[in-house]
Structure 1
Amino acid sequence: MTIRFDGRVAIVTGAGNGLGRVHALELAKLGARLVINDFGGSRDGKSGGSSSEAALAVVEEIKALGGAAIANGANVADFEQVSAMVEQAKAEFGRVDILINNAGILRDKTLSKMDMADFRAVVDVHLMGSAYCTKAVWDTMREQNYGRILMTTSAAGLFGNFGQANYGAAKMAVAGLMNMLAIEGKKNDIRVNTLAPIAATRMTEDVMPEALLKAVRPEQVTPGALYLVSEDAPSKVILGAGAGVFSSVRLVETAPVYLGGELTPDTVAAHFAQISDWSTAVPRDDANQQVAAFFETAMKGLKA
């Protein structure tokens, strides 16, 4: 069955350029009506803003394709502006089915050289922006008993990267936000996933080698994003995507080891190879599974 979005209304943040623009255009081609959100700021968020010129240009592209779209210049780090954006979407289209949290900024420096205001600014856009936008659509999606939400993470957050402490912290945090919301949204058919893209955009133009930039296009990522917001999408999935290559990422935990007796740092050190035996690793569906595994291991150890 071909995935389509006829009758669906989608909000895509940071959709004036790069990945967000391509996500929005492809959603429109497959029948969705769009809210194109873009603050109009620079890549670091320090200049520009409060302008939706870039968003308006994408709206015109969508209309030229025969689609329906409106522009919005809300700053995702401002909950009042985001709430007004959702009200605008509902007034124009009557509902909101899909939210793609794509907006972001970069202020890269090592932590030793980083101003804490720059740390906060990046977290405000990536993490708080995703939380604000999600909160703003949440009740509507619950009332509809339907919603598809996509977070955007990064390999920098999932695995680490030099000089991106603020960005990496925020990008790991949105995966944690997904973990919670996928559970909370289940009874109302709100599915929440996360995309980990690798693509040539203004966000990556000077942090990737030129050869790699030429090989990775946003158009090669967007099919994964659209699958994750489709009607039959999974939930609580992190999907890596780039250069036509896809992977699935998840947290796993090694089998709990009961040490017992007199616990000291030396005890942990002596057993650390066993504790960190990744051949025993399994995923957890939620926190309760980890707690249960610990208690079961402890009880067995006490009885031994």
Structure 2
Amino acid sequence: MRQELDGRVAIVTGAGGGLGRCHALALAERGAKVVINDLGGARDGTGGSLTAAEDVVKEIETLGGEAMADGASVTDYAAVEAMVARTMERWGRVDILVNNAGVLRDKSFAKMNLDDFRFVVDVHLMGAVNCTKAVWEIMRLQNYGRIVMTTSSSGLYGNFGQSNYGAAKMALVGLMQTLSIEGAKNDIRVNCLAPTAHTRMTEDLGAALPLDQLGPELVSPGLVHLVSEDAPTRCILAAGAGGFERAYVTLTQGIRATGADAREQVAARFGDISDRSDEIVPEMGAAQGMIELGKLQKALGA
């Protein structure tokens, strides 16, 4: 076993199978002690059993590692707090949080009921919020923490029938952007992972993808880097089939349009507004306002 994460304690949600299991095994292989959190429900979030989590614990123990199973629902903050308390009681710290738990309730927006929309957002977004909140103060006091949000190309770029899932996954990017700023002074690094992998979450795709080349274990090397001591922060790492890419939220230089015909100027110069030649990756949200105020000052001759 490699020991680059020796002494580190990790919580991985949704770790009873698929990506979460592979992440947990990869972390354990490198010396981390791992909490295998899994509600054990179906793909749509119904039901529950600790069996899957316990099976992964046995795998890790067979490899010579340390792990514990926990069946807390990430949507239940009290249960999440209790999970973290048990982790602290056993190992005394939490260094790594991988927010991986998720569900799917896919339908076109026209056919989707709001309960299914809320539930998916609650699991993906609020589940990550609950788990992050439960470990945040621990990481602040340690002056060390590594947190990964599991986003998706469905959130970054859209996908038919996944308005609920896509909205939740893009919201996690916004959460990551702010938490990475707030956590910097305490060496809490926060990143997003956008995986492409064949798990039970993608089983309906069938022959649409080369499923035998999309094993979830091919994504986990990227996850390990995002939680390592020399991890980046504010990174959106895409991974799948052995490929790794980085996605960015960018901002063009745009134009300034004022006056009674401002709307017409926007329409006429939309190509200039969309020109990506000098686009930037803002360090924080204020960058947009600074660019806009810079145009104003230039117009005023300041």
Shorter chain as normaliser: what TM range? over 0.9
Q: Specify the alignment match of 1:166 in structure 2.
A: 164
Identity over the aligned pairs, expressed in percent? Answer: 57
Task: Say which SS state the counterpart of residue 140 (structure 2) adopts.
Answer: helix
1:246 equivalent to 2:244? Answer yes
Note the aligned Cα RMSD (angstroms): 1.3
CA distances 1:248-273 after superposition (whole Å, capped 9, x unpaired): 00111110311233244222111211
1:209 to partner: Cα distance: 3.3
CA distances 1:160-198 after superposition (whole Å, capped 9, x unpaired): 100000000000000110000000000000000000000
Identify which of 154, 157, 161 aligns with 1:156. 154
Is contact 2:248–2:281 with CA below 8 Å preserved after alignment? Answer: yes
Q: Specify the alignment match of 2:8 in structure 1.
A: 8
Is contact 1:256–1:297 with CA below 8 Å preserved after alignment? Answer: no
1:232 to partner: Cα distance: 0.4
Residues of 1 paired with 2:4 and 2:166: CA distance? 33
Q: Specify the alignment match of 1:18 in structure 2.
A: 18
Q: Specify the alignment match of 2:204 in structure 1.
A: 206
* Amino acid corresponding to residue 75 of structure 2 in structure 1: A
Q: Specify the alignment match of 2:120 in structure 1.
A: 122
Residues of 2 paired with 1:209 and 1:167: CA distance? 22
1:113 equivalent to 2:117? Answer no
Is contact 2:13–2:37 with CA below 8 Å preserved after alignment? Answer: yes
| Structure 2 alignment gaps of length 5 or more | none
Q: Specify the alignment match of 1:33 in structure 2.
A: 33
| TM-score normalised by the chain length of structure 2 | 0.97
* Amino acid corresponding to residue 5 of structure 1 in structure 2: L
* Amino acid corresponding to residue 180 of structure 1 in structure 2: T
Q: Specify the alignment match of 1:230 in structure 2.
A: 228
* Amino acid corresponding to residue 160 of structure 1 in structure 2: G
Residues of 2 paired with 1:133 and 1:5: CA distance? 21
Is contact 1:4–1:31 with CA below 8 Å preserved after alignment? Answer: yes
CA distances 1:131-174 after superposition (whole Å, capped 9, x unpaired): 11000000000000000000001100000100000000000000
Q: Label 1:159 to 1:147 Cα distance change in 2 as closer, same or farther (>3 A).
A: same
Identify which of 51, 54, 59 aligns with 1:53. 51
Number of matched residues? Answer: 301
Residues of 2 paired with 1:282 and 1:141: CA distance? 31
Q: Specify the alignment match of 2:97 in structure 1.
A: 99
Is contact 1:74–1:81 with CA below 8 Å preserved after alignment? Answer: yes
Q: Label 1:180 to 1:267 Cα distance change in 2 as closer, same or farther (>3 A).
A: same
| Structure 1 alignment gaps of length 5 or more | none
